[in-house]
């Protein structure tokens, strides 16, 4: 379980409003338009992220160094004892490579194999650019507000979606997915501790709770530097003369 958590968390790269709301001054379409405006593109990013998994199988913590550069290039270094990388991941838009130095294993695949939660687009939207509102198929859309935030609720296919948008930062600080049948939250995402870079804000902490997986994952970012220059060669893995190469599907079966 711990080893699988180390691998998947490397690839992933994952609300204090009062309860008295009054009708919103913005229509749903206006709020979506305001929230989904493109922010200035970040050319590069580097820093650290601590990942904490809380689940029925146990609690685990790991640290990893992250590097990002346009267009859609990532390097993740999962640190082991004394900060020495034990897993290296390089993502180049639609392709990824994962190397485990201690076992001399190289895993190659497409980011599409990782599921929607691990696509470059979601990594960018979920952290760097912040989540966006998607009401295209939404029904029963209601927008309310207080002095600090907008609250928007809508339903799709038997589920209710809620989002709280902070007025000052334009960040969605809380998202909930609830079952209309049981009124139970099946997924909760929170963003807190805003970091200001230029005129934009980014969350320092992102937490994701999933009822079906019975787990909560928290990402805490630190030491972030935006638009710093670094060697682009870091997005190419330096491999030893001898190593074993595996497909991603075969590698996952070995973790089970």
What pLDDT was estimated at residue 201? 84
SS3 215: strand
Q: Is the C-alpha dihedral spanning 68, 39, 208, 182 positive or negative?
A: negative
d(CA 67, CA 92): 12
What pLDDT was estimated at residue 17? 44
Residue extents of the structural domains in the chain:
2-14+18-255
Residues 108/188, Cβ–Cβ less than 8 Å:
no
2-14+18-255: CATH number: 2.50.20.10
What pLDDT was estimated at residue 4? 57
Q: Read off the pLDDT band of 16 (50, 70, 90).
A: very low
d(CA 19, CA 121): 33
pLDDT tens digits, residue range 160-186? 999 999 999 888 999 999 999 888 999
Q: Read off the pLDDT band of 198 (50, 70, 90).
A: confident
Q: Read off the pLDDT band of 248 (50, 70, 90).
A: confident
> Does pLDDT of 204 surpass 60?
yes
What pLDDT was estimated at residue 254? 65
What pLDDT was estimated at residue 166? 92
pTM of this structure? 0.77
What pLDDT was estimated at residue 130? 67
């Amino acid at each position: 379980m711990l080893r699988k958590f180390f691998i998947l968390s490397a690839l992933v790269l994952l609300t204090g409003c009062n309860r008295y709301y009054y009708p919103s001054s913005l229509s749903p379409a206006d709020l979506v338009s305001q929230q989904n405006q493109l922010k200035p593109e970040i050319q590069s990013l580097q820093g650290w992220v601590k990942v904490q998994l809380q689940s029925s199988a146990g609690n685990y913590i790991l640290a990893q160094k992250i590097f990002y550069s346009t267009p859609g290039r990532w390097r993740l270094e999962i640190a082991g004892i004394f900060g020495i990388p034990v897993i290296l991941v390089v993502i180049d838009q639609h392709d990824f490579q994962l190397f485990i130095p201690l076992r001399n294993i190289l895993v190659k695949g497409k980011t599409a194999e990782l599921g929607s939660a691990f696509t470059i687009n979601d990594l960018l939207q979920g952290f760097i650019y912040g989540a966006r509102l998607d009401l295209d198929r939404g029904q029963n859309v209601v927008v309310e507000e207080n002095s600090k935030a907008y609250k928007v609720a809508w339903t799709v296919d038997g589920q209710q979606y809620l989002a709280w948008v902070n007025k000052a930062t334009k960040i969605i600080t809380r998202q909930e997915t609830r079952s209309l049948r049981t009124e139970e939250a099946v997924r909760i995402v929170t963003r807190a501790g805003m970091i200001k870079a230029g005129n934009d804000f980014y969350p320092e902490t992102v937490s994701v709770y999933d009822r079906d997986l019975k787990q909560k994952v928290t990402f805490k970012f630190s030491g972030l530097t935006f638009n710093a220059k670094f060697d682009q060669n870091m997005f190419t893995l330096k491999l030893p003369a001898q190593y074993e190469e595996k497909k991603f599907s075969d590698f996952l079966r070995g973790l089970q």
